[in-house]
Structure 1
Amino acid sequence: MQSSNVEYTLISGNTAEKEIKLISESYRNQPLNEGGLRWKLLKNIWLLNKKFLWQSGLVSEILKGDYDSFIFLGSPYFLSTWVGVILAKIKGKKVYYWMHGVYKDNPGLVDYIKLFGFYKIADGFFLYGNRSASILKKYKVREDKDIHVIYNSLAYEENLLLRQNLEHSDILDFRHKEFKDANTPIVVFIGRLNDVKRLDLLIQAQDILKKKHGKPFFNSIIIGDGQEASNLKQLAETLGLSDNIVFKGAIYDEATNAELLMHSDLCVTPGEIGLTAVHSLAYGTPTFSHDNLNIQMPEVESIRPGFNGDLFKHNDVASLAESIEKWLMLHPVKTTAIMSDCYQVIDQYYNPKFQAKIFNEVLSKI
Structure 2
Amino acid sequence: MRELVKSGVHDYRFWGSLDAINGIKSFQGDDLIKISPLRFRFRGATWVLKDYWPAVLDRTADVLVVHGHPNMPASWLIGIVGRLTGKKVIFWAHGWLKKETPLKSLIRRLHYGLGHRVMTYGERARQLAAATGFPPNRIVPIYNSLDWLTAQAVLEGLGAEGTDMVRQRLGIPREAFVVSCVARLTPICRFDLLIEAIAHLKRRNIEAQVILIGDGPERVKLEELARMSNVNVRFLGAIYEEDLLGAYIFASDVTASPGKIGLSAMHSLMYGTPVVSHDEMDMQMPEIEAVYPGRTGSLFRRNDVNALADALEYWSKAKANREATRLQCRDVIETRYNPVTQARLINDTIDQTLGG
Q: Deviations over 1:237-270 (max 9, x none)?
A: 11122xx222212111111111111011111111
| Deviation >6 Å, runs of 4+ | none
| Aligned match of 1:285 | 273
| Aligned match of 1:147 | 139
Q: 2 CA distance for matches of 1:236 and 1:105?
A: 36
Q: 1 CA distance for matches of 2:154 and 2:21?
A: 32
SS in 1 for 2:306: helix
| Aligned match of 2:263 | 275
Relative to structure 1, is the Cα distance of residues 80 and 176 closer, same or farther in structure 2, using a 3 angstrom cutoff? closer
Q: 2 CA distance for matches of 1:149 and 1:326?
A: 31
Asked if 1:41 corresponds to 2:33, the answer is no
Asked if 1:224 corresponds to 2:214, the answer is yes
| Aligned match of 2:7 | 3
How many aligned positions are there? 349
SS in 2 for 1:277: helix
Structure 2: which amino acid aligns with 1:342? C
Structure 1: which amino acid aligns with 2:46? K
Q: 2 CA distance for matches of 1:54 and 1:247?
A: 36
| Aligned match of 2:250 | 262
State which drifts further: 273-282 or 78-87: 78-87
State which drifts further: 2-11 or 187-196: 2-11
| Aligned match of 1:138 | 131
Structure 2: which amino acid aligns with 1:286? P
State which drifts further: 173-182 or 285-294: 173-182
Residue 292 of structure 1, CA deviation: 1.0
SS in 2 for 1:362: helix
Q: What 5-or-longer segments of structure 1 have no aligned partner?
A: none
TM-score by length of 1: 0.88
Q: 2 CA distance for matches of 1:140 and 1:50?
A: 26
Matches within 5 A, 1:286-301: 286-301=274-289
Relative to structure 1, is the Cα distance of residues 11 and 210 closer, same or farther in structure 2, using a 3 angstrom cutoff? same
SS in 2 for 1:133: helix
| Aligned match of 1:308 | 296
Residue 43 of structure 1, CA deviation: 3.9
Asked if 1:235 corresponds to 2:225, the answer is yes
Matches within 5 A, 1:59-208: 59-107=53-101, 109-115=103-109, 117-144=110-137, 146-164=138-156, 170-172=162-164, 181-208=173-200
| Aligned match of 1:361 | 348
Q: Deviations over 1:176-224 (max 9, x none)?
A: 66667433311111111111111111111111111122xx432211111
Counterpart pick for 2:18 among 9, 14, 19:
14
Conserved 8 A contact 1:175-1:182: yes
Q: 2 CA distance for matches of 1:65 and 1:96?
A: 17
TM-score by length of 2: 0.90
Percent identity, aligned pairs only?
Answer: 30
Q: What 5-or-longer segments of structure 2 have no aligned partner?
A: none
Relative to structure 1, is the Cα distance of residues 14 and 256 closer, same or farther in structure 2, using a 3 angstrom cutoff? closer
